[in-house]
Chain A
Amino acid sequence: MNDHDTLGERLAQQGVSRRAFLKFCTAMASLMALPPGSANAIAEALIKAKRPSVIWLSFQECTGCTESLTRSYSPTLENMIFDMISLDYHHTLQAASGYGAEKSRQDAMENFFGKYLLVVDGSIPLKDNGIYSTIAGRTNLDLLQDVAKGAAAVIAVGTCAAFGGIPNAKPNPTGAVAVSNIIKDKPIINISGCPPIPAVITGVLAHYLTFGSLPELDELGRPKSYYGETIHDRCYRRPFYDQGKFAKSFDDEGARNGWCLFELGCKGPTTHNACATTKWNGGTSFPIESGHGCLGCSEPHFWDAGSFYSALSMPASPLKLATGGAVAGAAVGIGASVANRMKKNAAKSAHETSTIADLEK
């Protein structure tokens, strides 16, 4: 089998029916907010699309992004579509190791220079010359710069690659940064989330295969079709927010009635992602549906935005200056009071009694 034959041939080999394939294309068109007619265009383009070479680099990460992609949807069509790309290098999924693995990456880089897609998950440490994460003796920074040179586009999968994520959280001991902090001359698409929704990854790949370009992005480089609205906007518990009905603890009557989790720290209002519509585990549910507030994992610096369990309207960290302010305020007040008294007393003692004789002078 040719490694880079067309998607149509590969689907036929795997016994995927045209009906199932069209269903997938329609779902993708709908997810990407494209007109209904474009489902056929996607199908036509995907059938003829050559399987692109994909090099997947894993840096400072937990492999959760790969877990999300491989487990959640398997064995649905989305997962098969992922099979339909030629994944030439991926630590977790590849059979080869050591020299063979690195050679596979090198071959892909040479054979498909300027055409391959580079997927990155994990952040890149810069402190101390990047020694905190190395692969085959090379730092993540060196590897990223080298592989990005010949990439058609870079897909930063997960919040670590997109925004620095947890390694970047204070005090950021490794000096971790996002892909976009290093690569400036290639189109970068951020698929944030900790982990990101698998359908979003496959959706972006489908868009790339169909149109040969990346989808429209928001100001943080995320595809607007998935990150255009907040979790709160699309949350099925939103009516309870509007009615002012909030769960006060995870086991009170409000929680059992499925009321809004805002007061329990839900970050849905400031979090852009498709969890509330696309959902997880094959459309089963999403965190809020399971009774827990949104952590805001697809937003930059979500780890440093205060407790997951304090409401957005509450302080993100304890107030430290109020006591000092009270002491200082009392001191200044007493000081001003003493100064005022002294001024009054001085005026009183400087007072001279005038007589009629004085006035007639």
Chain B
Amino acid sequence: MDQELFLTWVRSTGLDIAVGIFVLGTLWRLIEIYTLGHKPDLAVPRHRTGASGLHTMFRRSVPPPGMFKRSAISYVGGYIFHIGLAIIVFLSAQHIKLIQGLTGLSWPNLPSQFIDATAVVTLATMLMVLVDRINNPVKRFLSTFADYGAWALTFLPVLTGYLATKHLLLPYTMMLALHILSVELLLVFLPFTKLMHVFTLWVSRWYNGDTNSRKGVPV
């Protein structure tokens, strides 16, 4: 298969399969998670302020006292690469065009130089958090293959996207095809790995906050 056929495949059949699996996996997991339920709690709630769930959704984004100093790289790096990813995915012209093609929705884009700079910062930050994960004995001990896999699945689309737009390493056609393929791999694995947090994050925070409040630890 030459690179033009490869590009056409990832833009058609490959994308179709990846989006199909992504939709299937996401719906499966969301339905399964939200129908799990829990045992009826017969005890009278210890404390009900009513907003603990909501508060927790945002409080968990702020480092608890003392934690920032102990793990500054995780917090700073985490913020930078998440915001970077959001900018790249949702504010570059090519990605908006893709979203428009799939959903009909579109919005203004940022200049490509800004997206390029964001990609460089995001890549550097992701490398930094990876090195930190490997260097820090506790983080290394807690890390599994799935953690490194999730990192690679997130890192590769940004790297190949940057290399493609900058015409580095491989011909643009091949690099663009690899970029799209790497995103398709991300879509395929997202529902079945911890990357699922893109959907479950806010609800699980709310659930934890609300449960803690019932048990007498309101926030």
Contacts and interface: CB of A to CB of B under 8 A. Distances in A.
Interface of A: 220, 230, 232-233, 241-244, 246, 262-263, 269-270, 299-302, 304-306, 310-317, 319-322, 324-326, 328-330, 332-334, 336-337, 340-341
Contacts of A332: 24, 28
Interface string B8-44: 1001110111011111111111111001100000000
Contact of B112 (A242, A263, A324): A242
A234 to B, nearest CB: 12
Contacts of A316: 8, 11-12, 15
B93 A246 contact: yes
B98 to A, nearest CB: 5
A39 B104 CA distance: 55
23 contacts: A232-B172, A233-B167, A241-B112, A246-B109, A270-B4, A299-B4, A304-B8, A305-B7, A306-B8, A312-B176, A313-B94, A315-B11, A315-B98, A316-B12, A329-B24, A329-B25, A329-B28, A332-B24, A333-B31, A334-B35, A336-B28, A336-B31, A336-B32
Contacts of B36: 337, 340
A319 B102 contact: yes
B95 interface: yes
Interface in B48-64: none
Contacts of A312: 11, 94, 176
Nearest to B17: A321
B23 A326 contact: yes
B121 interface: no
What 6 A-B pairs have minimum CB-CB distances, sorted nearest first?
Answer: A333-B31, A321-B20, A329-B27, A325-B20, A316-B11, A329-B24
Contacts of B110: 244
Contact of A305 (B4, B16, B19): B4
Nearest to A311: B97
A302 B4 contact: yes
B203 interface: no
Contact of B32 (A242, A315, A317, A337): A337
B140 to A, nearest CB: 34
A51 to B, nearest CB: 36
B27 A322 contact: no
B113 A315 contact: no
Please indicate which of the listed interface residues B31, B109, B112 has the most CB atoms of chain A within 10 Å of its own CB: B31
Contact of B19 (A243, A300, A325, A334): A325
B86 interface: no
A330 B27 contact: yes
B111 A243 contact: yes
Contacts of B115: 244
Interface of A, secondary structure class, is: helix
A234 B110 CA distance: 23
B112 A244 contact: yes
Contacts of B22: 325
A289 B16 CA distance: 34
Please indicate which of the listed interface residues B8, B27, B101 has the most CB atoms of chain A within 10 Å of its own CB: B27
A325 B23 contact: yes
A319 B16 CA distance: 5
Contacts of A310: 101
Interface of B: 2, 4-5, 7-8, 11-13, 15-17, 19-32, 35-36, 93-95, 97-98, 100-102, 109-113, 115, 167, 172-173, 176
A315 B101 contact: yes
B24 A230 contact: no
A244 B172 contact: no
Contacts of A220: 2
Contacts of B109: 244, 246
A340 B31 CA distance: 12
Given A306-B11, A325-B24, A314 B31 contact: no
A310 B30 CA distance: 33
Given A321-B20, A322-B23, A313 B98 contact: yes
Contacts of A328: 24
A113 B26 CA distance: 67
A230 B172 contact: yes
Contacts of B111: 242-244
A315 to B, nearest CB: 5
B27 A319 contact: no
B6 to A, nearest CB: 10
Please indicate which of the listed interface residues B13, B97, B100 has the most CB atoms of chain A within 10 Å of its own CB: B97
Given A244-B111, A325-B20, A325-B21, A315 B31 contact: no
B20 A324 contact: yes
A183 B11 CA distance: 32
Please indicate which of the listed interface residues A244, A324, A328 has the most CB atoms of chain B within 10 Å of its own CB: A244
A326 B24 contact: yes
Contacts of A317: 11-13, 16
Contacts of A315: 11-12, 15-16, 98, 101-102
A288 B109 CA distance: 22
A305 B93 contact: no
Given A321-B20, A336-B28, A244 B93 contact: yes
Nearest to B20: A321
Contacts of A299: 4, 173
Nearest to A305: B8
Given A232-B172, A337-B32, 18 more contacts: A243-B111, A244-B93, A269-B176, A300-B5, A301-B5, A306-B8, A311-B98, A315-B11, A316-B15, A317-B12, A319-B16, A325-B19, A325-B27, A329-B25, A329-B27, A329-B31, A330-B27, A333-B30
